[in-house]
Amino acid sequence: MKSSNLIPHLFRTEYRKIVSVLCRRFGFRQIEIAEDIASETFLVAAQAWGIEGVPPNPVGWLYQVAKNKSKNYLQRGATFDMKVAPVLDINIQDDSQTEIDLSPNNINDSQLQMIFAICKPVISSEAQIGLSLRILCGFGIGEIADAFNTSKDVINKRLTRAKEKLREHNIQIEMPEPELIEGRLDSVLLTIYLVFNEGYYSQSQNKILRKELCLEAMRLCTMLIESTLTNTPKVNALLALMCFHASRFDARTDETGELILYDEQDTQLWNSDLISKGAYFLNQAKGGTHLSRYHLEAGIAFLHTQKEDTQEKWEQILQYYNLLLQIQYSPAAALNRTYALYKARGADPAIGEAEKLKLTGNRFYYLLLAELHKEADPAKSTQYLENALSLASTEAEKRAIGRRR
């Protein structure tokens, strides 16, 4: 493979590993140094490989350069500690001889510790997602900006503030004590869940990027499952949920980016391997005594991968939504529950439930009402589509609503 093609691929897979190990070694107080060393490593690779060709072991080559650059940085720091710090009466421990360990085990441990460190409530959910994408997934600032549908300047400021907060609170890159992991795991799972949603429901028209976001969220969740400390039922339930959703990714939109409704999706485009994997992890999630939102959402997502459109199927989905809304209410879940009620018991009871929601600022609310009234009152259905059209936020949505109208 040519270096021009290989380096972007390796940046995606190896940058995050190098940064995680160096951040664990240096701490959040020097996170920019870790990022600079990792970035400079790939810059050296681009220059050297363009002239000399790709080495036999490109990953090992990158790791050796990163180690050498780290040692040079630590040695410069040691010089300061020995010659300048005593004059200033600063007591600094000399740790310049510590080896930079880029072994697979240390890489995995560093990434696992990093995700727990990033997912601290001292920074916002948006910042947690952004740092996860940058440090743990190797996404560039431009890609993160595209995913959030904002500018690179906004993302840079958001990440800078987040790093400052982590330093101010002296957040350590380490695993929580075993008795604290269960409680801390909730914020980690929520971040992974939101990373996945950013890809699955994003308004970005970059389908490749959106799919990569979903795959990275699944990779992070798999990392938790591979650790005996974090392989819990709700982690398996979340991975099952993402597998089921990802299995229908290619069927959800057409070539222009317009959303394809569930009933109109080409089931031949559903990924049977991901459905099977989701079923495996959902089975693994059965242990324990706690029923999480991820269990219920995975159950709903599994039923959506079943092609038979029966009343029994929708009745079961309805019951899952009833339980989910008791655990954690959200407007989206309430709308989806009303749609399941419609499919299971007809339009009349669903209309009554929908009108109680009064989500008048939500375009999906009006799309649901349009669907519920399309047989009994076409004129009212058309008016609801007009309301949805006025709230549509993208051109693809406007085209889709216009087509239904």
88 and 128 assigned to the same domain: no
**Domain end position, chosen among 101, 133, 166:** 101
Of 90-99, 205-214, 280-289, 326-335, least confident by mean pLDDT is: 90-99
Q: Is the domain of 109 the same as that of 95?
A: no
What span, in angstroms and rounded, lies between the C-alpha atoms of 124 and 215?
23
Q: Are 195 and 86 members of one domain?
A: no
Looking at the fold, whether 125 and 69 belong to one and the same domain comes out as no
Q: Is the pLDDT of residue 84 over 60?
A: no
Give me the count of residues in the chain: 405
- What pLDDT is stored for residue 93 in this prediction? 46
pLDDT in tens, 32-74: 999 999 999 999 999 999 999 999 999 999 999 999 999 999 8
Amino acid at 83: K
Q: Looking at residues 140-153, what average pLDDT do you find?
A: 90
Inform me whether the pLDDT recorded for 92 exceeds 80: no
pLDDT at 128 over 80: yes
Q: Which of 101, 130, 152 is the last residue of a domain?
A: 101
Q: Which amino acid would we find at residue 217?
A: A
Alpha-carbon 390 to chain mean position = 30
404's tokens: 């239904």
How many domains does the structure of the chain reveal? 2
Q: What's the pLDDT tens digit per position in 232-278?
A: 999 999 999 999 999 999 998 887 777 788 888 999 999 999 999 99
Asked whether residue 115 falls in the same domain as residue 219, the answer is yes
Residue type (1 letter), 148: F
How far apart, in Å, are the Cα atoms of 210 and each of 16, 193, 201, 386? 19, 14, 8, 29
Question: Is the residue at 377 inside a domain?
Answer: no
Q: With a threshold of 0.75, does the pTM exceed it?
A: yes
Please tell me whether residues 85 and 198 are part of one structural domain.
Answer: no
The answer to whether position 216 is within a domain reads yes
pLDDT of residue 78: 54
Q: Is 391 exposed, middle or buried (0-12, 13-18, 19+ CB in 10 A)?
A: middle
End-to-end Cα spacing for the chain: 50
Same domain, 158 and 200: yes
Within-domain flag for 108: yes
Cα 49 from Cα 5, distance rounded (Å) = 11
Question: Quick one: tokens of 65?
Answer: 């350069």
Within a domain: 379: no
Q: Does residue 305 lie within any of the structural domains?
A: no
Query: Does residue 140 sit in the same domain as residue 163?
Result: yes
Residue 65 within a domain: yes
In a domain, 221, yes or no: yes
Q: Kindly provide the b/e burial profile for residues 278-309, where b requires at least 16 CB atoms within 10 angstroms of the residue's own CB.
A: bbebbebbeeeeebbbbbbbbbbbbbbbeeee
Is 321 in contact with 300 (CB distance < 8 Å)? Answer: yes
In this structure, the answer to whether residues 65 and 108 fall within a common structural domain is: no
Q: How far is Cα 125 from Cα 294, in angstroms, rounded to an integer?
A: 18
According to DSSP, residue 230 is labeled T
Taking CA 279 as the corner, what is the angle to CA 278 and CA 283, rounded to the nearest 5 degrees? 115
Taking Cα atoms as reference points, which of 289, 330, 321, 287 lies closest to residue 303?
A: 321
Map tokens 């957040």 to a residue: 171
pLDDT of residue 94: 46
Average pLDDT value for residue range 308-326: 96
Same domain membership, residue 86 and residue 1: yes
Residue 360 has pLDDT above 80, yes or no: yes
Query: Rounded to whole angstroms, what are the CA distances from 72 to 24, 68, 78, 216, 265?
Result: 17, 6, 10, 32, 56
Residue 287 banded pLDDT, cuts 50, 70, 90: confident
Q: Determine the structural domain holding residue 217 and report its residue range.
A: 103-228
Residue 89 lies in a domain: yes
Nearest residue to 393 via CA among 371, 353, 361: 361
> Are residues 40 and 153 both part of a single domain?
no
Q: Residue for token digits 């591979």?
A: 226
> What is the Cα–Cα distance from 41 to 150, expressed in whole angstroms?
29
The 10s digit of each residue's pLDDT in 180-196 is 898 899 999 999 999 99
User: Per mean pLDDT, which range of 12-16, 88-92, 104-108, 332-336 is the poorest?
Assistant: 88-92
Q: Locate tokens 């995606």: which residue?
A: 12
Neighbouring-strand partners of residue 259: 253
Same-domain status, 114 and 214: yes
Which of 208, 228, 248 is at the close of a domain? 228
**Cα(88)–Cα(101) distance, rounded to whole angstroms?**
32
Calculate the dihedral angle through the C-alpha atoms of 116, 118, 122, 126, rounding to the nearest 10 degrees: -130
In the prediction, which pLDDT does 285 show?
Answer: 97
